[in-house]
Chains A and B, each alone.
Chain A
Amino acid sequence: DGGITQSPKYLFRKEGQNVTLSCEQNLNHDAMYWYRQDPGQGLRLIYYSQIVNDFQKGDIAEGYSVSREKKESFPLTVTSAQKNPTAFYLCASIDGGLAHTGELFFGEGSRLTVL
């Protein structure tokens, strides 16, 4: 079955450590997104990529980095510069071209806890 796979589902890290969250999709979608979800707040966009080897900052990109070397993969690195990294991270993708209506397909999320 096609879908988006995020790993790991749970991750613990010590302060000062970088950590990379994996996101892989086999939906053949062009665009991929990373959102962060915190209690009492809506999903906030970190980075997005519309095409391989290109990506743009979202609303809260500081302390994060991404790469898009393959269409299927969009890993997110949470760096030590991110002041409040403990959160639920969601990867998503969009089907179709610019005429598409823009509904998102989400992965199951990765919960990062900084100890």
Chain B
Amino acid sequence: SQKIEQNSEALNIQEGKTATLTCNYTNYSPAYLQWYRQDPGRGPVFLLLIRENEKEKRKERLKVTFDTTLKQSLFHITASQPADSATYLCALSDGGYQKVTFGIGTKLQVIP
């Protein structure tokens, strides 16, 4: 069965540094890889999507890479701020109305 691995340990970084979160997956060849942000007690919020034929996608301070050979995505937040502190979820899908499969998320703490 398909499996998504995210570092379950929290990531602590200093304000202003670049945070890098990792998402690895097995037994799946998704058409799309998505990243969501989730704050405590709230629903996830969509951030970025990257297609299987794309290597990199950027949005403001966010950057996502997608290596279908390694079956890995890296999610970067540059010039990190305390407001970026949250849990970040990786998700895979084949688009349309098909099921979206989520990882457990990585908790990011940006220290002032």
Q: Which residues of A contact B (CB under 8 A)?
A: 4, 6, 30-31, 33, 35, 40-43, 45, 48, 50, 58, 90, 92, 94, 97-109, 111
Q: Which chain B residues numbered 73 to 112 have a C-beta less than 8 Å away from chain A?
A: 89, 91, 93-105
Residues of A within 8 A of B42 (CB): 108-109
Residues of B within 8 A of A106 (CB): 43-45
Question: Are the C-beta atoms of A42 and B99 separated by less than 8 Å?
Answer: no
User: Can you identify 17 A-B contacts, CB atoms within 8 angstroms?
Assistant: A33-B100, A40-B104, A42-B101, A42-B105, A43-B89, A45-B99, A48-B97, A58-B99, A90-B44, A98-B96, A98-B97, A102-B95, A103-B34, A105-B46, A108-B43, A109-B41, A109-B43
Residues of B within 8 A of A92 (CB): 43
User: A6, A100, A101, A102: which has the most chain B beta carbons within 10 Å?
Assistant: A102
With both chains docked as a complex, state the minimum distance between the C-beta of B97 and any C-beta of chain A, in angstroms: 4
Question: Are the C-beta atoms of A30 and B97 separated by less than 8 Å?
Answer: yes
CA distance A105 to B99 in the complex (A): 14
A6, A102, A111: the one contacting B97 at CB < 8 Å is A102
Residues of B within 8 A of A58 (CB): 99
Question: Are the C-beta atoms of A101 and B99 separated by less than 8 Å?
Answer: no
Residues of B within 8 A of A33 (CB): 100
Question: Are the C-beta atoms of A42 and B104 separated by less than 8 Å?
Answer: yes
With both chains docked as a complex, state the minimum distance between the C-beta of B35 and any C-beta of chain A, in angstroms: 10
Residues of A within 8 A of B97 (CB): 30-31, 48, 50, 94, 98, 102
